Amino acid sequence: MTRVRRPKDPTELSAAEWVRQQLIEDIVAGRLRPGEKLCEVKIASRLGCSRTPVREAFRHLGALGLANFEKNRGGNVVRLERAMMLELFEALAEVAAACAGLAASRAEAQRRSLAERDWPHAAAPAGSGGDDDLFSVLFGVCGNRLLSEAGATIRCRLLPYWRLLGKAAEEWPVHGAPGQAETVRAMAAGDGRASRRAMRAFVLMARDQAVRGLPCSVLP
């Protein structure tokens, strides 16, 4: 694997944060493949850092569920399994639905800001996004840090699966747009029940898209 060097700009991420980011990107991009052994010494050498930030990054990967570690035996990248993907989608549906219900109960100005935003395409259920990503905005508006952190973690764990979809993922921004629009309307109207129902349906629609795009021959 290509040797990488951390930028020397002191305003950049800390060593541990940078290593963690690099390893997550390697897993998501498939440079570190499911089941591959994670060697602390080799990774430190490749990234040009000491073993301490690598060790910290390993702990974070374990907490995210992207790698498994055993004491004194190192670790490996988790193997992608259909059953786990389905569980992650179910968990995201419930967490995001709870966030949507809370967002619908917030001040009218906050709710109105959701309706006034430009939502050019449906947000992917995996990864992270900026100002035009419904999940990222929702996790901020809902006002509950525990739910927001849980949702962000689940989206991170879903990203390797979503990257496998190929064409199905490319079609999602258009395919999922009506469901996203319905969710935004419900939250802007302050209807908590409708918001939870619409958001849950939106995430489960993404799950169905993933199931269609990943036949058992691709993901057992």
Determine the average pLDDT of the residues in 186-195: 95
Q: CA 57, CA 38: separation in Å to the nearest integer?
A: 11
Q: CA 79, CA 112: separation in Å to the nearest integer?
A: 42
Look at residue 6 in the predicted model and tell me its pLDDT: 53
Q: Choose among 108, 129, 105: nearest CA to 180.
A: 129
Higher pLDDT: 8 or 113? It is 113
Q: Give 85's pLDDT tier (boundaries 50, 70, 90).
A: very high
CB-based contacts of 19, cutoff 8 Å, min separation 6: 6, 43, 47, 49, 53, 54, 56, 57
pLDDT tens column, 39-80: 888 888 888 888 899 989 888 888 877 888 877 677 888 888
Q: CA 18, CA 47: separation in Å to the nearest integer?
A: 10
CB-based contacts of 116, cutoff 8 Å, min separation 6: none
Q: Give 10's pLDDT tier (boundaries 50, 70, 90).
A: very low
- Which whole-number Å values give the CA distances from 100 to 97, 103, 114, 143, in the listed order? 5, 5, 11, 10
Least confidently predicted of 5-9, 153-157, 176-180: 5-9
Q: CA 150, CA 106: separation in Å to the nearest integer?
A: 20
Least confidently predicted of 10-19, 23-32, 153-162: 10-19
Classify 125 as helix, strand or coil: coil
Look at residue 139 in the predicted model and tell me its pLDDT: 93
Q: Give 87's pLDDT tier (boundaries 50, 70, 90).
A: very high
Cβ pair 185, 140 in contact under 8 A: no
Two tokens, residue 185: 């309307």
Least confidently predicted of 17-26, 63-72, 208-217: 63-72
Q: CA 191, CA 54: separation in Å to the nearest integer?
A: 46
Q: CA 194, CA 3: separation in Å to the nearest integer?
A: 50
Q: Choose among 204, 188, 203, 200: nearest CA to 103.
A: 188
CB-based contacts of 109, cutoff 8 Å, min separation 6: none
Cβ pair 173, 149 in contact under 8 A: no
CA 92 to chain centre: 9
pTM score: 0.77
